[in-house]
């Protein structure tokens, strides 16, 4: 007795998968993103010893004195008792001649440990305080 392969069953599984993917794409089922819309940072002017607080929109540039600051992403941790706030930030100094090419700072910052990724500027210190 010769056994037959069940080709129709395989076709049905593939069709169900295609229908599921099409349904998800058509009705826009999206995973929830935990990134926020605004970020709050503090800036210390080392010369005058004054601290300023800025609220910035994510992905929009903001100018503070001689700095252009842009935060690309900001996220609050969800599973800690003491939440960690992280942000990806780019900072340019407009007084430098090569300011179109090089960022003074380009990387992740952490609210609990600002010294992990140093923002090394002779006049300003920047640290992250909130994402919301």
15-60 pLDDT, tens digit each = 677 776 676 766 654 444 445 689 999 999 999 999 999 999 998 8
Strand blocks (E) in the chain: 38-45, 50-57, 61-64, 67-76, 85-93, 105-110, 124-131
- Closest by CA position to 89, among listed 52, 129, 123: 129
Position 25 scores a pLDDT of 67
- For 83-90, what is the mean pLDDT? 86
Question: Can you give the pTM of this predicted structure?
Answer: 0.65
- pLDDT above 50 (res 89): yes
- pLDDT above 60 (res 85): yes
98-116 pLDDT, tens digit each = 655 678 888 888 887 766 7
- For 85-101, what is the mean pLDDT? 79
Name the residue with higher pLDDT: 126 or 79: 126
């Amino acid at each position: 007795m010769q056994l037959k392969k069940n080709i129709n069953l395989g076709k049905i599984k593939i069709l169900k998968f295609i229908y599921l993917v099409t349904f998800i794409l058509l009705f826009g089922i999206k995973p929830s993103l935990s990134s926020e819309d605004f970020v709050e940072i503090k800036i210390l002017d080392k010369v005058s010893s004054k601290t300023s607080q800025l609220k910035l929109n994510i992905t929009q540039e903001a100018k503070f004195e001689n700095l252009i600051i842009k935060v690309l992403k900001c996220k609050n941790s969800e599973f800690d008792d003491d939440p960690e706030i992280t942000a990806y930030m780019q900072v340019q100094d407009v007084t430098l001649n090569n300011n179109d090419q090089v960022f003074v700072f380009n990387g992740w910052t952490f609210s609990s440990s600002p010294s992990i990724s140093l923002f090394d500027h002779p006049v300003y210190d920047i640290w992250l305080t909130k994402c919301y």
